[in-house]
Chain A
């Protein structure tokens, strides 16, 4: 097939061409422009991150990410890829930690994903090690903007995404609140007992056609031009 740019969308809103579902180039662009674009993605429930150091791993599209309750009580998130060789920093679904250390070569990160130490940074017996000008603050996984709403945690990789509730719009905000509105978040007051725990979870895999995000919304083109 030709390059994505040459693809022609059939006129009108009622026909979706098959290449949308099957083209690896479209999939790659979907990750880059949509999931890593100016949108917000669901990560987990706030109740899963009750204490400082509690973390969860999940995905923004295909990108593995970590979300964690940092020392100041705020939520932080970052790509779950070590700045050194791209290995997964967190290998588990979740847990509680003081900091994060990549198992591959022991690069260590604080709860906000800032690089804090590198094993053998000065080499061994005067040989090897990082160059003199190496600045740890310039190296680290991509950071996420994190927002909470109705006990849910969302994140964005883009500085261009509007604030979360503004991005949803008042009508959608009201419809989420209708179901989860009484849900208290992390620092629930004593008067809001309706905290929202998970009662179960699982993953279902569909191996037939890929569900492109646009299909869950309406028949408008998925796209690349969105946002």
Chain B
């Protein structure tokens, strides 16, 4: 749907399917789509020419392969897929987990000699595929439960251990600072008060954030970010290895607006709702307000099933803008690398 609307791939695009002589492997290719009026989808939802991306940088292709193929999906029997969707490259490995579950191991690829521009383009276009893809759909027939994913490298934040007293009391990195600030609040002087105030304002920002996502006020969610911002969803494993790609990558508020639009208009997924439980921010030193905040997200599905869908930490950089705090950066680091497909609503 999303791909057809934005002409990433359409039935009217040229291309073809190539099957190996043994019939075991295949490569399907889509050539550049037709320009101008295309009657292929007339009357269908995908034909809405009024859909426009707020951030058109998501589309378009860097000519790195020097041919007309915009999209190539190649499978090697029995469990390998090499994907090229414009400049988003990935390997998918199929790992069967039983008759009612399959894991897809995604490896997003880039090259050492990528320019910074091409690299950013790949990261943006990774939004088109993967478990949080803007075009993916999830079947409504799902009745099987998903076991809790394995935890790796999760960090526990908040709550000092009392042995950190050797640190300078003014060091915002002290994990016990928040708790101590609250205790001392009634007697606080100006300087300390501003730290406590920061904490309260962060908590208020987080509660706004949770309410946008949990109460289906998605259109208000991008407003909590600065126009130029970074929002990523990734895993603790990726974060530890320094990999930039993850589940979602948006480097502008406009991309967040587009994600909401895709969710409303293009994505097909089972009706569901989140409940965010956001913990106490642990302040970190930095020019902006920098904080690490643990979160849990419970997901309730249409049929009543509830899962602990995600657990992790928000790594935030926040600035004062327009009379309130806004996110310059929110990196959502999930403790687990495994996501029950589809991650539709942002975390």
Residues of B within 8 Å of A21, CB to CB, are 99
Residues of A within 8 Å of B102, CB to CB, are 205-206, 210-211
Residues of B within 8 Å of A31, CB to CB, are 96
Q: How far is the CB of B68 from chain A (nearest CB, A)?
A: 12
A67 to B23, CA, bound (A): 28
Query: Contacts A23-B99, A205-B103, A209-B141 given: A200-B76 contact, CB under 8 Å?
Result: no
Cβ B96 vs Cβ A27 within 8 A: yes
Cβ B235 vs Cβ A202 within 8 A: yes
Residues of B within 8 Å of A196, CB to CB, are 109-112
Cβ A152 vs Cβ B72 within 8 A: no
> Scoring B residues 93 to 131 as 1 if CB is less than 8 Å from chain A, else 0, what string do you get?
111111111111111111111000001001100100011
Interface residue from A154, A179, A208 paired with B139 (Cβ < 8 Å)? A208
Query: Contacts A41-B79, A203-B337, A206-B104 given: A22-B99 contact, CB under 8 Å?
Result: yes
Cβ A199 vs Cβ B245 within 8 A: yes
Interface residue from A168, A200, A208 paired with B108 (Cβ < 8 Å)? A200
Cβ B24 vs Cβ A217 within 8 A: yes
Cβ B243 vs Cβ A203 within 8 A: no
A124 to B186, CA, bound (A): 69
Cβ A218 vs Cβ B23 within 8 A: yes
What is the number of residues of chain B that contact chain A, defined by CB distance less than 8 Å? 76
Query: Contacts A61-B96, A202-B247 given: A178-B67 contact, CB under 8 Å?
Result: yes
Cβ B107 vs Cβ A201 within 8 A: yes
> Scoring B residues 5 to 31 as 1 if CB is less than 8 Å from chain A, else 0, what string do you get?
000000000000011111111110100
Cβ B25 vs Cβ A213 within 8 A: no
With a 10 A CB-CB cut-off, give which of A31, A39, A168, A178 has the most chain B CB atoms.
A178
Q: How far is the CB of B146 from chain A (nearest CB, A)?
A: 5
A180 to B109, CA, bound (A): 10
Query: Contacts A205-B146, A217-B77 given: A200-B238 contact, CB under 8 Å?
Result: yes
Residues of B within 8 Å of A168, CB to CB, are 20, 25, 76
A101 to B341, CA, bound (A): 36
Interface residue from B24, B69, B94, B243 paired with A211 (Cβ < 8 Å)? B94
Q: Is A158 an interface residue (CB 8 A)?
A: no
Cβ B74 vs Cβ A202 within 8 A: no
Cβ A40 vs Cβ B131 within 8 A: no
Cβ B81 vs Cβ A216 within 8 A: yes
Interface residue from B78, B110, B145, B234 paired with A197 (Cβ < 8 Å)? B110
Q: How far is the CB of A73 from chain B (nearest CB, A)?
A: 21
Cβ A193 vs Cβ B113 within 8 A: yes
Cβ B104 vs Cβ A203 within 8 A: yes
Q: How far is the CB of A40 from chain B (nearest CB, A)?
A: 7
Query: Contacts A59-B95, A200-B246 given: A217-B79 contact, CB under 8 Å?
Result: no
> Scoring A residues 13 to 27 as 1 if CB is less than 8 Å from chain B, else 0, what string do you get?
000000001111001
Q: Is B144 an interface residue (CB 8 A)?
A: yes
With a 10 A CB-CB cut-off, give which of A93, A169, A175 has the most chain B CB atoms.
A175
> Scoring B residues 224 to 238 as 1 if CB is less than 8 Å from chain A, else 0, what string do you get?
000000000011011
Q: Which 4 A-B pairs have the closest CB atoms?
A: A200-B245, A204-B131, A213-B78, A175-B27
A residues within 8 Å of B by Cβ? 21-24, 27, 30-31, 34-35, 39-42, 45, 58-59, 61-62, 93, 152, 154, 167-169, 171-172, 175-176, 178-180, 182-183, 193-211, 213-214, 216-218, 220, 226
Query: Other than the known A172-B74, A205-B339, what 10 A-B pairs have Cβ atoms closer than 8 Å?
Result: A24-B99, A42-B76, A179-B82, A194-B111, A198-B243, A199-B108, A204-B339, A204-B341, A205-B340, A220-B23
